[in-house]
A and B are shown apart, each in its own frame.
Chain A
Amino acid sequence: MIETLPDTTVSGISKRLVLLRAEGGATTLSRVLTLLIFSTAEGLEEAISAANFASREHPMRIIAIALPEGEDRPTWVGEVSRDARQRELGIGDVPASGLDAEIRVGRDAGAGEVIVLRPRGAVAVDPERLVSGLLLADAPVVVWWSDVWPSRTIDTPLGRLAQRRISDSGGFRDPAAHLTELASGYRAGDTDLAWSRVTLWRAQLAAALDNAPERRITGATVCGTPDSSSTMLLGAWLRLQLGVPVRLLDLPESAGIEWGIQSVTIHSDDADTVIERSRGTFAAITQPGHPRLEVPIPRRGRAQCLVEDLRLLQADQLFGRVLTAGVPLLLADQPEGER
């Protein structure tokens, strides 16, 4: 059920929520967290549907905030003066400041409840004041920036309030710059969906090394499309954990791989361990002394990545190390002029 609340306020929304709960029985109890989504007006529905999918494993209240049209970067989360923010938001062009909202429950909200907020004009300036009254009592808060880049999120009250801040560097043109920016402001509780995208690869690589604990590793090569921050994070993880030089190879865009990782090779004295995309979702694993095997490594959608990320609400310390220590080491390994 979708209920639209045009030109409303946070207390108007809260009252409706209480009424809907009373009418629908206990269907809206047992929420384990509040997920705040910041997205563009165009990207909002896709983000909500991914969150609805995740709500089947993590029943939650989803608050989705559509940034005003034409705003592809929420610059207001950074430190800019109020005047500058209002100029950027083009408040002069918007007829009136205000808030339009929707409440979705039941079939339209997975196993959770969704509150969509479309702030207009000055209301959009301070998202914290907008959502504070809608957060669940005594439950963790997770913020997810979907299709928008959270520059300097840490300094904002919302960033501090949240137990977990999820960005998504995937799909942005320059992964090195984005990851470096994340690293410079990293705080425990930050994660990036590009990191969840490589979990299945990491699992296979770790399993491959389980079989040969005494092998001496001399280096590694990660080959993927140049715009993939997942490729870079995987390389940074190998660099950090193995302590050997890791080479990133850009796969030409003509190679037929749409996006992401093509192959990973771990070099050792005697022979290489290789995991390489073979066909469709399958990858072939070859390692010395073992038969060649194919395993499915499906490409993960945003919904699956989000499910995994929400499963761990404590800080992902390994991600922090990979981002702040692994990425710089990896970039330093690459020949001059390539990065």
Chain B
Amino acid sequence: MIGNPLRSPDDLRLDRVAGPCAIVLFGVTGDLARKKLLPAIYDLANRGLLPPGFALVGFGRREWSDAEFTQVVREAVDAHARTPFDPDTWEQFCTGIRFVTGAFDETAAYERLAEVLAELERDRGTGGNTAFYLSIPPKTFQTVSTRLRDAGLAEAPENSWRRVVIEKPFGHDLESSQELGRAIDAVFPPEHVFRIDHYLGKETVQNLLALRFANVFYEPIWNAEHVDHVQITMAEDIGVAGRAGYYDGIGAARDVIQNHLLQLLALTAMDRPASLGADDLRAAKEQVLESVVLPDDLVETTARGQYLGGWQGGASVTGFLEEEGMAPHSTTETFAAITLGIDTPRWRGVPFYLRTGKRLAKRVTEIAIVFKKAADPLVAPEMLGNNALVIRVQPDEGVTTRFSSKVPGPGLQIRDVTMDFGYSHAFTEASPEAYERLILDVLLGEPPLFPGQREVELSWRILDPIEEAWSASGAPEPYHPGGWGPTSAERMLGRSGRAWRMP
């Protein structure tokens, strides 16, 4: 392709705008579509990042007309869009909204979808470029992708593209993830499959790369010589209400550790990638995941729990086993913590602790690098805490450094103080939502922020033995809502004289 003379590399003002295209959204009535996807697509339009003839097609069982679906989109935008409503943007945006009624396995519906896409190509100039966003349960991936192929929709005509976007979970163990990968691969070539892990779209996570590799402060001490251990936490204060059916049998480890936390671990621990291109970045992450080793004793070095009912922050909450639709004897864990090692020269001997849970004290995600204490500090060592660097992923995105400082006054008393960088203080009032970034990347065909199939499989390889050990050891330990999980979580760190940070 000949370059566009109006795009020059030193043009810093023109954003990369998606070329002509359409998004077909499966699962339009889901929570994710209403709260995140539809608003994010509108926000992209509002920021001028979608092409003039952009089209949005909803696909679902509802008997909706285009106008009714437009109303659904409008309600989602009004309730959840990040950017202020702009009547001009909306007027132009809503002319490209369509709805196709049909069940996921209904061949005729896919024929209607093909007609709608052809009409949009003619009247909106979408150029035949189409992204299929499957915001649907994984067990229906295969049905939908096969039907898309049978209707001739998966194959891109010349000079156009067809891409597919899938959401977690990518299987529930190594075997099922491989099966799923094969089913998708049979329809779409791997470079056109985008697996969304929305954590990777967050500014702070992307900033991790800048923090580590664009600065000189950190990389020299980012190793076993200086780092004592690493804690990666994702805590939620809510329960599973409404998702009981999905959650039972899955559990916190499969739901969160396998994807989000292991991705954060990979970005934290990886060596400098050769470039920020998708291949190099994936190679660097895969190298870390391949080097992960498990402790010999998988029971003492892990913890799992199940939240009880009771009072949490002034509200009465339901226990996990009493949630509506939950099997009363479910052994599914709502809290999971694991210990991992990384067998590379950089990290040998440094434990990585990963924990996640529901109904904990607050909603917070962070990566904490806890450093070794100074070897010869000139002051009484018992006054010293560990230096720490904390990357706050959400909420209040930013970085905190903790170090020791002299207390004012006579003598030499030492106390830990913090230095804080808040993203929202130094930069835009509101960073783009992770989904805005990721959807735009799909439309631009930029894969670096999307994990590949191999990363998914490597992550299951890490988690499968732990799940196996857990399934052999009975019910999870109950814990009270509003705290930091079961006592076994404290024990697993206490064994080595360490403790969880209070995020």
- A residues adjacent to B (C-beta < 8 A): 29-30, 32, 56-57, 59, 111, 196, 199-200, 202-207, 209-211, 213-214, 217, 238, 241-243, 280-282, 285, 290-291, 293-296, 298, 308, 312, 314, 316-318, 321
Given contacts A291-B125, A293-B53, contact A210 B425 (CB under 8 A): no
Q: Which residue of B lies closest to A111 (CB)?
A: B429
Q: Which residue of B lies closest to A200 (CB)?
A: B48
- In the assembly, what is the distance between CA of A29 and CA of B429, in Å? 15
Is B316 an interface position by the 8 A CB rule? no
Interface string of B8-44 (1 = CB under 8 A from A): 1011111101011000000000000000000000000
Given contacts A241-B8, A291-B125, contact A211 B19 (CB under 8 A): yes
Do residues A210 and B125 form an inter-chain contact, with CB atoms below 8 A?
A: no
Is B468 an interface position by the 8 A CB rule? no
- B residues adjacent to A (C-beta < 8 A): 1-8, 10-15, 17, 19-20, 48, 51-53, 86, 88-89, 91-92, 122-125, 127, 421-422, 425-429
Do residues B1 and A205 form an inter-chain contact, with CB atoms below 8 A?
A: no
Do residues B428 and A210 form an inter-chain contact, with CB atoms below 8 A?
A: no
Do residues B17 and A296 form an inter-chain contact, with CB atoms below 8 A?
A: no
Q: Which residue of A lies closest to B88 (CB)?
A: A296
Q: Which residue of B lies closest to A238 (CB)?
A: B6
- In the assembly, what is the distance between CA of A211 and CA of B6, in Å? 12
Do residues B8 and A57 form an inter-chain contact, with CB atoms below 8 A?
A: no
- 10 nearest A-B residue pairs (beta carbon): A30-B425, A296-B88, A206-B6, A290-B125, A317-B10, A293-B52, A295-B52, A57-B428, A312-B12, A213-B2
Given contacts A210-B19, A280-B88, A293-B53, contact A203 B48 (CB under 8 A): yes
Task: Report chain B residues within 8 Å CB of A314.
Answer: 12
Do residues B2 and A318 form an inter-chain contact, with CB atoms below 8 A?
A: no
Given contacts A210-B4, A243-B5, A293-B53, contact A318 B12 (CB under 8 A): yes
Do residues B89 and A296 form an inter-chain contact, with CB atoms below 8 A?
A: yes
CB distance from B49 to the nearest CB of A (A): 9
A–B pairs, 25, beta carbons within 8 Å: A30-B422, A30-B425, A56-B428, A56-B429, A57-B429, A59-B425, A196-B13, A200-B48, A206-B6, A211-B20, A213-B1, A213-B2, A241-B5, A241-B8, A243-B5, A282-B88, A291-B124, A293-B124, A294-B52, A294-B92, A296-B86, A296-B91, A312-B13, A318-B8, A318-B11
Do residues B428 and A202 form an inter-chain contact, with CB atoms below 8 A?
A: no
Do residues A213 and B123 form an inter-chain contact, with CB atoms below 8 A?
A: no
Do residues B92 and A295 form an inter-chain contact, with CB atoms below 8 A?
A: yes
Task: Report chain B residues within 8 Å CB of A296.
Answer: 86, 88-89, 91-92
- In the assembly, what is the distance between CA of A309 and CA of B124, in Å? 33
Do residues B12 and A203 form an inter-chain contact, with CB atoms below 8 A?
A: no
Task: Report chain B residues within 8 Å CB of A202.
Answer: 6, 13-14
Task: Report chain B residues within 8 Å CB of A200.
Answer: 48
Task: Report chain B residues within 8 Å CB of A281.
Answer: 88
Choose among A291, A312, A314 the residue with the greatest number of B CB atoms under 10 Å from its CB: A291
Task: Report chain A residues within 8 Å CB of B17.
Answer: 203, 206-207
- In the assembly, what is the distance between CA of A294 and CA of B94, in Å? 12
Task: Report chain B residues within 8 Å CB of A211.
Answer: 19-20, 125, 127
- In the assembly, what is the distance between CA of A282 and CA of B92, in Å? 9
Do residues B8 and A199 form an inter-chain contact, with CB atoms below 8 A?
A: no
- In the assembly, what is the distance between CA of A281 and CA of B86, in Å? 12
Choose among A59, A196, A238 the residue with the greatest number of B CB atoms under 10 Å from its CB: A59
Choose among B1, B3, B88 the residue with the greatest number of A CB atoms under 10 Å from its CB: B88
Do residues A291 and B123 form an inter-chain contact, with CB atoms below 8 A?
A: yes
Task: Report chain B residues within 8 Å CB of A213.
Answer: 1-4
Task: Report chain B residues within 8 Å CB of A32.
Answer: 426-427
- In the assembly, what is the distance between CA of A196 and CA of B12, in Å? 11
Do residues A214 and B2 form an inter-chain contact, with CB atoms below 8 A?
A: yes
Q: Which residue of B lies closest to A285 (CB)?
A: B52
Task: Report chain A residues within 8 Å CB of B422.
Answer: 30
CB distance from B9 to the nearest CB of A (A): 9
Seed contacts A242-B5, A282-B88; 13 additional CB < 8 Å A-B pairs: A30-B422, A30-B425, A203-B48, A207-B52, A211-B125, A281-B88, A291-B53, A291-B124, A293-B124, A296-B92, A308-B13, A317-B10, A321-B10
Q: Which residue of A lies closest to B96 (CB)?
A: A293
Q: Which residue of B lies closest to A284 (CB)?
A: B52
Task: Report chain B residues within 8 Å CB of A238.
Answer: 6
- In the assembly, what is the distance between CA of A238 and CA of B4, in Å? 12
The contact of A206 among B14, B53, B123, B127, by CB within 8 Å, is: B14
Task: Report chain A residues within 8 Å CB of B5.
Answer: 209, 217, 241-243
- In the assembly, what is the distance between CA of A314 and CA of B86, in Å? 31
Task: Report chain A residues within 8 Å CB of B19.
Answer: 207, 210-211
- In the assembly, what is the distance between CA of A129 and CA of B222, in Å? 45
CB distance from A176 to the nearest CB of B (A): 23
Task: Report chain A residues within 8 Å CB of B15.
Answer: 203
Choose among B1, B3, B6, B426 the residue with the greatest number of A CB atoms under 10 Å from its CB: B6
- In the assembly, what is the distance between CA of A282 and CA of B91, in Å? 10
- In the assembly, what is the distance between CA of A59 and CA of B425, in Å? 7
- In the assembly, what is the distance between CA of A214 and CA of B4, in Å? 9
CB distance from A318 to the nearest CB of B (A): 5
Q: Which residue of B lies closest to A196 (CB)?
A: B13
CB distance from A75 to the nearest CB of B (A): 32
- In the assembly, what is the distance between CA of A210 and CA of B3, in Å? 8
- In the assembly, what is the distance between CA of A285 and CA of B4, in Å? 18
- In the assembly, what is the distance between CA of A280 and CA of B53, in Å? 19
Do residues B10 and A318 form an inter-chain contact, with CB atoms below 8 A?
A: yes
- In the assembly, what is the distance between CA of A285 and CA of B124, in Å? 12
The contact of B426 among A30, A204, A318, by CB within 8 Å, is: A30
The contact of A241 among B6, B425, B426, by CB within 8 Å, is: B6
- In the assembly, what is the distance between CA of A199 and CA of B123, in Å? 27
Task: Report chain A residues within 8 Å CB of B7.
Answer: 206, 210
Task: Report chain B residues within 8 Å CB of A206.
Answer: 4, 6-7, 14, 17
Task: Report chain A residues within 8 Å CB of B48.
Answer: 200, 203
Task: Report chain A residues within 8 Å CB of B88.
Answer: 280-282, 296, 298
Task: Report chain A residues within 8 Å CB of B6.
Answer: 202, 205-206, 209, 238, 241-242
